Amino acid sequence: MSKKSKSSKPATARKGKYVYYFGDGQADGDGKMRALLGGKGANLAEMTRIGLPVPPGFTITTEVCSYYYDNKRTYPPQLAKQVDEAIAKIEKSVGKGFEGGENPLLLSVRSGARDSMPGMMDTILNLGMNDKTVEIVASKSGNPKFAWDSYRRFLQMYGDVVMGVQKRPGEDHEPFESAIEHLKDERYGNHNFPDMQLTVEDIQELVSRFKALIRERTGKDFPQKPKDQLWGAVSAVFGSWQNDRAIVYRRKYGIPHEWGTAVNVQTMVFGNMGETSATGVAFTRDPASGEKVFYGEYLINAQGEDVVAGVRTPNPVVRLGKEMPESYKQLLKVRDLLETHFRDMQDLEFTIEDNRLYILQTRNGKRTGLAAVKIAVDMVKEKLITKEEALSRIPADSLSHVLAPIFDKESAKKATKIASGLPAGPGAASGRLVLRAEDAVERAHKGDKVLLVRVETSPEDLRGMIAAEGILTARGGVSSHAALVARQMGKVCVCGASDLQIDYASRTVTSNGVTLKEGDYISIDGTAGDVFAGEVKTAPSEVVQVLVSKTLKPEKSKAYQDFAALMTWADKVRRLDIRTNADTPEQVENAVGFGAEGVGLCRTEHMFFEGDRIDAMREMILARNTDDRRKALEKLLPFQREDFIGIFRSLDGLPATIRLLDPPLHEFLPHDHAQQSALSNKLGIPQEEIAKRVHELHEFNPMLGHRGCRLGIVYPEISEMQARAIFEAAAQVQSEGIRVRPEVMIPLVGFPKELKLQIEIVNRVAKEVIKEKKVKFKYLVGTMIEVPRAALVADKIAEDAEFFSFGTNDLTQTTLGMSRDDSGSFIPAYTEHEIIAANPFATIDQDGVGELMKIARDRARKVRKDIKLGICGEHGGEPKSVEFCHALGLNYVSCSPFRVPIARLAAAQAVLKEKK
């Protein structure tokens, strides 16, 4: 390793400076300049400054990318001169010449956005190769095969990335790969003939065919001048910022389009110079499990893209210790230095050229949710980072991976195992086998669970990878494109299952005598790397086994212990309470196990659909008068009371917000002839009468129809029965010595008088029950804010309401005039055209719905300073929405049980962001 330069000056950004040099221990930039130099460029500068062996080069800033798009794809006038000066510095450093001479300088050109976007944008290696330099490199290296192979690779990358020679619709293979396979077929009768065994003459023939292919597809000759090649490559990198897959990736991960990318130009070092050269990708810890082991892979006599592209399946990095012991020792020192310096798990690329180690890149490694938790907790124990840093580093959503199911051991034993590969994304996934990304998108859109199976994936497959439950490849290793992207998305993934024979033409996959057709079920275990034919049953994750099913002791699960430590830290930091949306005692117990501090929404109507209760409910709806309706409600009362008793017991003193009946009555009645006939026989009511009542209750727009408090206004006996069930249950459980905290929530209030009328019923019934049962307990009455009018008259509603809960599902529908159930047909187009930044039913629309929430908060607190404010839409478990609710000063968020840990972490992160 080179010595750390003592004369390195602090890095400063300067106006009009578009090119930042790094090399020989000196760098114009540093690791803090990510916005200007991109993540890759900033880290190359930083590694150079700390003395790592980084090949010299320069970074063209993200400002140039912005200028390029703002000025009709042209460059700032100063740029060309600054690039020439940087190339001259490289030439001086390495003793080579870029345009001519007996020692040609070859360069790599890579993109580098502020945030890592693995595989989303394109890399070009061996730039500077042409018909002349290939002969010089062959002569100087004494290795003609290496020289011609480098030229062949350059033609392939440049032809694809810069000149657009790519597969056409309907083609399964890249055109250059097809040309290689055709040559192998012609000369060796086998298109799988090993690349390593191709002769110099074979590769020279490929060079001729590649140049002809470029001419045929583009009508242009491949450029021979290195300077022309360089500017073509720079333009291609900037152009790739707006390619389809980069845009899809940015949308998925919320990366702003205006950030732009930098371009990194670096001296080539060669891993394909023979048996003393290699290239690899390594992680300072296992990115799938988080274990503190050196993890990665390499290929002897190869270039970096071979490892990531997954065309050959590489060797595990520990084997390098036997094949190249000195280089491996150096690599282990680099590993320790990088982790200590960057204080995070690193993903590094390295090349060994003739036994000399070079580091080409480092970045914070993408990791699974499981690994993120383990790495963060371990690094706190190792005193590398603080608890606050640990909390900030884990994407809150990624905790869902920790709770994701695994395969049931008994079912896996009985299943037909057809192949094994490398475990690249943990968890278990079963789905219908699909071979093309576009088919995965189409089938998933129809509701099918699919597994995308490919020979290897490429960035073009991104949409299909997003749509699939899991990804399986026949080639590639744990640092291939498929593995990197799967880990980041939390997808189950198995790579390099080399027994798989994938036939795109016949749409089949064959392995060890078993043939599966497209559409058949296939299952993969991303933790063990196993592939099974058919569907395999799943079992709960270790964390769920400890907290929910109680089938595993905490001390037996390291995964649980790490999770519990993280949650304890989060709970000490956050200010928001986290409640759950739960309708049964079992759901409540699960949520309390996950750390819920009460129920934020109990939907009483869900209880009516169980067993014989639906018959009593239907009898109530079909009643001809109030007396008959009351008789039917008396049958429902004990059912509701028992449910609430179970919920209060499960909560053991925590609050329960119980919403009175919300859906329109027609939802409870049968609509087809056969079901109406069966109900007629059960209840002794003529079928015609049932059909007539169904017709009477039919609504053209039920979402805005006779529902919510409107039911209680027209049929006050329904509200009365429900209030009685709640309070009798409360009295029963309170008398058992368990504290109860009922909160009765009146839905869909838009007018203050609606709430007043319903509160009168609730208070009257409460007094009656307390007097009858001789048990005292406190309760609250409040409302859901789910129509815009309620937000606008919140001050008047707050005169009676003791709490507000924002029902953001319906508030979004009523504010945007969008039906949640029908918006799927246009929301994707709206995000694509950037009309909206995200699906408003997934993330709160802060400018519209959020503004109404602010108005409601401000007006309510003027009237009632201590009013309790919460949110109970599914937004309550979405991290950005949780952050917004924290900023708004709500008391709690409420979400489904399995999202409670996500909300706990997101609430802590909101506090930490605020401190920054």
pLDDT in tens, 16-75: 999 999 999 999 999 999 999 999 999 999 999 999 999 999 999 999 999 999 999 999
Among 391-395, 400-404, 740-744, where is mean pLDDT lowest?
Answer: 400-404
- Which among 260, 265, 364, 233 has a CA at the least distance from the CA of 20? 265
Pairing of strands 521-525, 530-533: antiparallel
Collapsing DSSP states into helix, strand and coil, what is residue 450?
A: strand
Which token pair is 842? 């997934």
Which token pair is 131? 């018909």
User: What is 745-785 written as a DSSP string?
Assistant: EETT--SHHHHHHHHHHHHHHHHHHHHHHT-----EEEEEE
Write down the catalytic residue from 65, 493, 872, 885.
872
Q: Scanning the structure block, which residue is given the tokens 């109406």?
A: 676
269-367: CATH superfamily: ATP-grasp fold, B domain (3.30.470.20)
Among 260-274, 463-477, 599-613, 802-816, where is mean pLDDT lowest?
Answer: 599-613
Write down the catalytic residue from 481, 666, 875, 886.
481
Give the model's pLDDT for residue 250. Answer: 84
1-128+225-268: CATH superfamily: ATP-grasp fold, A domain (3.30.1490.20)
Tell me the pLDDT of the chain averaged across its residues.
92
pLDDT in tens, 130-140: 999 999 999 98
CA 633, CA 717: separation in Å to the nearest integer? 8
What's the CATH fold of domain 574-606+642-659+709-915? Answer: TIM Barrel (3.20.20)
Which token pair is 504? 């795109």
Give the model's pLDDT for residue 5. Answer: 45
pLDDT in tens, 617-650: 888 988 888 998 999 899 999 999 999 999 999 9
Catalytic site includes residue 341 = no
Q: Is the pLDDT of residue 2 over 70?
A: no
Collapsing DSSP states into helix, strand and coil, what is residue 418?
A: strand
Identity at 610, one-letter amino acid code: E
Assigned CATH for 404-539: 3.50.30.10
pLDDT band per the 50, 70, 90 thresholds, residue 118: low
Q: Are 112 and 264 in contact (CB under 8 A)?
A: yes
- Which among 48, 222, 258, 236 has a CA at the least distance from the CA of 130? 222
Q: Is the pLDDT of residue 253 over 70?
A: yes
pLDDT band per the 50, 70, 90 thresholds, residue 119: low
Q: Is 12 exposed, middle or buried (0-12, 13-18, 19+ CB in 10 A)?
A: exposed
Give the model's pLDDT for residue 9. Answer: 65
Q: How many residues does the chain have?
A: 916
Tell me the percentage of the chain whose pLDDT exceeds 70.
97
Which token pair is 274? 């023979």
What residue segments make up the domains of the chain, in order of their start?
1-128+225-268, 131-224, 269-367, 404-539, 574-606+642-659+709-915
**Helical spans, DSSP H, in 1-61:** 34-49
Collapsing DSSP states into helix, strand and coil, what is residue 121?
A: coil
In order of 33, 820, 837, 913, the CA distances from 259 in angstroms are 13, 32, 15, 21
Collapsing DSSP states into helix, strand and coil, what is residue 87?
A: helix
Give the model's pLDDT for residue 169. Answer: 76
Query: How many helices and strands (H and E) does the chain possess?
Result: 36, 32
Give the model's pLDDT for residue 480. Answer: 76
Q: Is the pLDDT of residue 324 over 50?
A: yes
Give the model's pLDDT for residue 667. Answer: 84
Q: Scanning the structure block, which residue is given the tokens 């390594």?
A: 282
Q: How many CB atoms lie within 10 A of CB 131?
A: 11
pLDDT in tens, 180-225: 999 999 999 988 888 889 999 999 999 999 999 999 999 999 999 9
Q: Is the pLDDT of residue 13 over 90?
A: no
Q: Are 280 and 295 in contact (CB under 8 A)?
A: no
pLDDT in tens, 478-515: 767 778 778 767 789 999 898 999 999 999 999 999 99
Which token pair is 798? 């707050």
Collapsing DSSP states into helix, strand and coil, what is residue 304?
A: helix
Assigned CATH for 131-224: 1.20.80.30
**Helical spans, DSSP H, in 698-844:** 709-714, 716-735, 752-773, 788-792, 794-797, 808-816, 827-832
pLDDT in tens, 818-873: 988 788 788 888 988 889 988 999 899 999 999 999 999 999 999 999 999 999 98
723-736: average pLDDT: 98
- Strand ranges (E), 25-82: 26-27, 57-60
Catalytic site includes residue 872 = yes
CA 876, CA 430: separation in Å to the nearest integer? 29
Give the model's pLDDT for residue 115. Answer: 82
| DSSP-derived secondary structure letter, 661 | P
Give the model's pLDDT for residue 7. Answer: 39
- 422 has which bridge partners? 495
CA 468, CA 448: separation in Å to the nearest integer? 9
Which token pair is 89? 């510095």
Collapsing DSSP states into helix, strand and coil, what is residue 465?
A: helix
Which token pair is 625? 């008068």
Which token pair is 185? 């077929």
Give the model's pLDDT for residue 120. Answer: 56
| 329 contact partners, CB below 8 Å, separation of at least 6 | none
